[in-house]
Structures are given as structure tokens and as C-alpha cells.
Amino acid sequence: MYNILSITSYSGVGKTTLIEGVVKELTNLGLNIGCIKHTCHDFEIDRPNKDSMRYRNSGASSVSILSENTFVFVEKTEQEKSLYDIINLYKNTDLIIIEGFKGYKFKKIEITRSILYTKLISDTSDLIGIVSDVNYDIGVKQFKLGDYTSVAEHIKYCLDTKKLELSEEILKKIIYQ
């Protein structure tokens, strides 16, 4: 079983800030949280002239860096990894929070801001919450921007009532439909 929540919005609205605030609150409640962020841009986590980047620059297709408390695996890929494969790396977490992957039918919290956009991009049947300075009359729990405690409490409630729970079979249907 997996507990998955997608944080949805357009770029620049505050998804990362919301996730950061909510993760702090949820970890303070003793939960083990994993985060997955999708980006359409290429990126590097290595630093120039460090051993791991030197290995990759010499031709290694994958490199691991590990210490007593941290493990990183860097792999050059020819195509984007499957979301299913990535989610399976998070099996030992209480909740997986996903930023991006808007088109998937996960339960969602959407963020809007009146100065950027107000039209919801999510199917309302997928929404468990809206974080906004706009009031929507659609029967979905709403939160003020920056109210991480209330959002985290609602997420915890959704975890406790199994609203975010997905079986292996349902997860595959969501990803591979």
C-alpha cells in the first residue's frame, strides 16, 4: 500500500513552499515523508571537480555517494524514469508527496493565488484541499496561504482515514492508464 498526495498548481504559485511547510509539520508529528519533484529541465546534483562528478565525466553511467546518514544515487538515463519505479523507492515512507505530474489521478491539494490564476486545473473529484486567497464554493476543504499547520492536520486526517491510500493495483492503473 502507498499513501500518495499530489501538490498541484502552475509554476511560481508556491508548491515548493507549501510542501516545505507541510513536511516540517508532518515530520513534527512523527511521520516519515518522501517527496518526488518532476521538472521539465535537466539538472545536476554533483558539484564540479568532486569525485562523483569526475567519475560521471569519465564515463560512469551511475554513481553512488553514501555516508553514515545519507545515500545518493545518480544515474544518466536515455529517457525519463517511470513514476511507478520512482514511487517504489519510497515504500518505507508514511506519505509520498508529489510535485508535478498534474495529469495523474492522485488525490491532490491545489494552490491558487488571485494575482496569478484562479481557475482550478484539477478535477474536483481528485481534490482533498485547496490552498488559496480565493474562496471556491465546490465542497472541498480550503486553507489560507501559509497555514501549514491546518493543511498538515488535514493531510494527517486523510492518512488516518485512508483517503490517500493506494493499492499496488490501483497505483499501476493510475500511472499506466
* Per-residue pLDDT tens digits for 81-108: 788 988 988 889 999 999 988 889 999 9
Residues of the chain with pLDDT under 70: 38-48, 59
pLDDT confidence of residue 21: 96
CA distance 79 to 73: 17
pLDDT confidence of residue 49: 73
CA distance 85 to 96: 13
CB distance 37 to 100 below 8 Å: yes
pLDDT confidence of residue 63: 76
Per-residue buried b or exposed e for 146-166, using 16+ beta carbons within 10 Å of the residue's own CB:
eebebbbbbbbebbeeeebeb
Q: Are strands 108-111 and 2-8 parallel, antiparallel or unpaired?
A: parallel
| Stated pTM of the model | 0.86
